[in-house]
């Protein structure tokens, strides 16, 4: 099994990620996050928000609607330029992305392929209740435009001054021709983005671009991604998206396959200029100090939450030899990302005193953090289950706990155990999770 299969298998087994609508045979390109996956994904989004909004004074947050006036997508260029080249096999009628094929024949049956046609990725939907009068609109293809159409609203309702940014997290939808690679290319996915507005000065804006490249790379590393598994890849001129002046991807090395995880884009003034043109609203910024009026340049950082989740899982995954003939599968997730910060066990489930003390600890810790409970099977099995869930600490209440008022805390990564006083447990965990 390669790392993709191993992670997909663990994700299903432990409740991180399930195929969407599975009991109906699934729906290509859709995924459901299970109990552990929902926590992991939420922790990733919280860390993004913490570093991009909470800890900064030059960035504010926004949460825009998924469905927007269809004119937005005319203005943004998505209705004309947001497409992939599609070819179809004349024999088996399977469809492929022309830019992903290495040969000029059908990979499934060897048949002849049609000439490439541009296939628009926007997902259409209809609003309204009267048949025939329904309005055609779209599920957003990127979360970006919800920020740009609110540029003036943010300016007038807050104290931000250029340079400043607006961060957002939310769902986006694309009618991908070839969804696949587990959650890597989905039709419904989540993005975490920053739109950073700067003066329309090429040199200054390129400095800001470099600054954000470094920040975003640093963010992944600060949450435990191995440096050797990350690199920047510059987009060649002919690969640039319709809006971009310059673009770099942060790529993750999935066992030798470098895959895009996040994009840093210099969007010039494309979005504000186009929205000004199409809406008729003045989108310019007035600089109180210099008395200048201008359309700002935009530096964007655009990451996929699902891709980050997938690559954090791959990065954390290890099959470790414990002793001769015994291996364990462990997720070395950064404690801040781990779904559960700790698991609490009574040593024996049939000893009411142990269960009572363990329950008390569990209930108390739950007020402050996500904690798991397990009283099934032997301790070894419970440790293995928590290793696969990425739980950094396992707390066992045993017979000594009754006399000494302490517990055993076992570290996921080192597997070492130490005794910690029950009264100090919360502080111990908070310190180690940070
Ligand atoms: N606003 C710019 C933008 O949307 P993009 O490069 O098309 O740029 C940004 O997308 C990020 O969104 C990608 O780097 C990737 O992480 C994520 N993404 C894009 N398409 C995706 C898909 N089909 N499935 C999962 N994630 C996707």
pLDDT digits (tens, 9 = 90+) for 207-257: 999 999 999 999 999 999 999 999 999 999 888 888 888 999 999 999 999
pLDDT for 132:
84
User: Is the pLDDT score of 282 beyond 90?
Assistant: yes
Which atom of ligand 1 lies at the shortest distance from residue 179's CA? 23
Distances (CA, A) of 385 to 253, 308, 316, 381: 27, 23, 15, 6
pTM exceeds 0.85 for this model:
yes
Cα 138–134–242 angle (5° rounding)?
25
From atom 22 of ligand 1, which residue's Cα is the shortest distance away?
A: 185
Measured in Å, residue 286 CA sits from the centre of ligand 1 at 32
CATH 3.40.50.460 fits 3-68+123-313, yes or no: no
pLDDT for 434:
83
pLDDT digit string, tens, across residues 25-53: 999 999 999 999 999 999 999 999 999 99
Say what percent of the chain tops pLDDT 70. Answer: 100
CATH architecture of 340-433: 3-Layer(aba) Sandwich (3.40)
End-to-end CA distance of the chain: 34
pLDDT digit string, tens, across residues 143-167: 999 999 999 999 999 999 999 999 9
User: Is 200 touching ligand 1 by the criterion CB < 6 Å?
Assistant: no
User: Is 262 touching ligand 1 by the criterion CB < 6 Å?
Assistant: yes
Question: Of 312, 31, 35, which is closest to residue 181 (Cα–Cα)?
Answer: 31
Distance of CA 97 to the CA centre of its chain: 24
Say what percent of the chain tops pLDDT 90. Answer: 92
From atom 9 of ligand 1, which residue's Cα is the shortest distance away?
A: 302
User: Is the pLDDT score of 82 beyond 90?
Assistant: no
Measured in Å, residue 281 CA sits from the centre of ligand 1 at 29
User: Is the pLDDT score of 383 beyond 90?
Assistant: yes
User: Is the pLDDT score of 369 beyond 90?
Assistant: yes
User: Is the pLDDT score of 382 beyond 90?
Assistant: yes
pLDDT for 83:
86
Q: What mean pLDDT do residues 270-294 have?
A: 97
Q: What is the mean pLDDT of the chain?
A: 96
Measured in Å, residue 173 CA sits from the centre of ligand 1 at 10
User: Is the pLDDT score of 79 beyond 90?
Assistant: yes
Q: What mean pLDDT do residues 179-200 have?
A: 97
Distances (CA, A) of 320 to 249, 355, 380: 31, 31, 15
pLDDT for 58:
98
User: Is the pLDDT score of 266 beyond 90?
Assistant: yes
Out of 139, 148, 189, mutate this one to test ligand 1's pocket (max ligand atoms within 8 Å of CB): namely 189
pLDDT for 133:
84
Q: What mean pLDDT do residues 386-396 have?
A: 98
Which range among 94-98, 99-103, 359-363 has the greatest average pLDDT?
A: 359-363
pLDDT for 362:
98
Out of 29, 62, 146, 191, mutate this one to test ligand 1's pocket (max ligand atoms within 8 Å of CB): namely 191
User: Is 391 touching ligand 1 by the criterion CB < 6 Å?
Assistant: no
């Amino acid at each position: 099994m390669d790392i993709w299969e191993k992670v997909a298998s663990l994700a299903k087994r432990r409740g991180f990620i399930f195929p969407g609508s599975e009991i109906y045979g699934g729906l290509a390109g859709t995924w459901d996050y299970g109990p552990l996956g929902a926590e992991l994904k939420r922790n990733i989004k919280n860390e993004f928000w913490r570093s991009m909004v909470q800890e900064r004074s030059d960035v504010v947050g926004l949460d825009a609607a998924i469905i927007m006036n269809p004119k937005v997508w005319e203005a943004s260029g998505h209705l004309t330029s947001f497409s992939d080249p599609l070819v179809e096999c004349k024999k088996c009628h399977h469809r492929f992305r022309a830019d992903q094929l290495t040969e000029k024949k059908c990979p499934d049956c060897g048949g002849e392929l049609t000439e490439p046609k541009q296939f628009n990725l926007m997902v259409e939907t209809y609003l309204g209740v009267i048949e025939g009068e329904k309005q055609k609109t779209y599920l957003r293809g990127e979360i970006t435009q919800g920020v740009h159409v609110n540029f003036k609203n943010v300016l007038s309702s807050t104290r931000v001054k250029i340079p400043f940014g607006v961060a957002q997290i939310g769902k986006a939808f694309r009618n991908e021709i070839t969804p696949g690679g587990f959650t890597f290319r989905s039709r419904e996915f989540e993005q975490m983005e920053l739109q950073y507005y700067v003066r329309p000065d090429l040199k200054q804006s390129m400095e800001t671009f470099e600054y954000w490249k470094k920040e975003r790379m640093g963010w992944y590393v600060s949450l435990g991604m191995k440096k050797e598994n990350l690199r920047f890849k510059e987009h060649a001129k002919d690969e640039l998206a319709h809006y971009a002046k310059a673009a770099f991807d942060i790529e993750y090395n999935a066992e030798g396959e470098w895959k895009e995880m996040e994009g840093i884009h210099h969007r010039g003034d494309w979005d504000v200029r186009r929205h000004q043109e199409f809406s008729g609203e003045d989108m310019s910024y007035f600089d109180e100090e210099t008395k200048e009026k201008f359309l700002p340049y935009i530096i964007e950082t655009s990451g996929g939450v699902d891709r980050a989740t997938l690559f954090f899982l791959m990065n954390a995954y290890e099959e470790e030899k414990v002793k001769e003939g015994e291996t364990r599968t462990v997720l070395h997730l950064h404690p801040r990302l781990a779904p559960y910060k700790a698991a609490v066990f009574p040593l024996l489930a049939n000893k009411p005193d142990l269960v009572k003390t363990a329950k008390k600890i569990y209930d108390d810790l739950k007020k402050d953090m996500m904690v798991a409970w397990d009283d099934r099977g032997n301790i070894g099995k419970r440790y293995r289950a928590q290793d696969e869930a990425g739980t950094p600490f396992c707390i066992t209440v045993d017979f000594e706990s009754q006399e000494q008022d302490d517990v055993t805390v076992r570290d996921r990564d080192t597997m070492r155990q130490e005794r910690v006083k029950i009264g100090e447990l919360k502080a111990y965990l908070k310190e180690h999770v940070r």
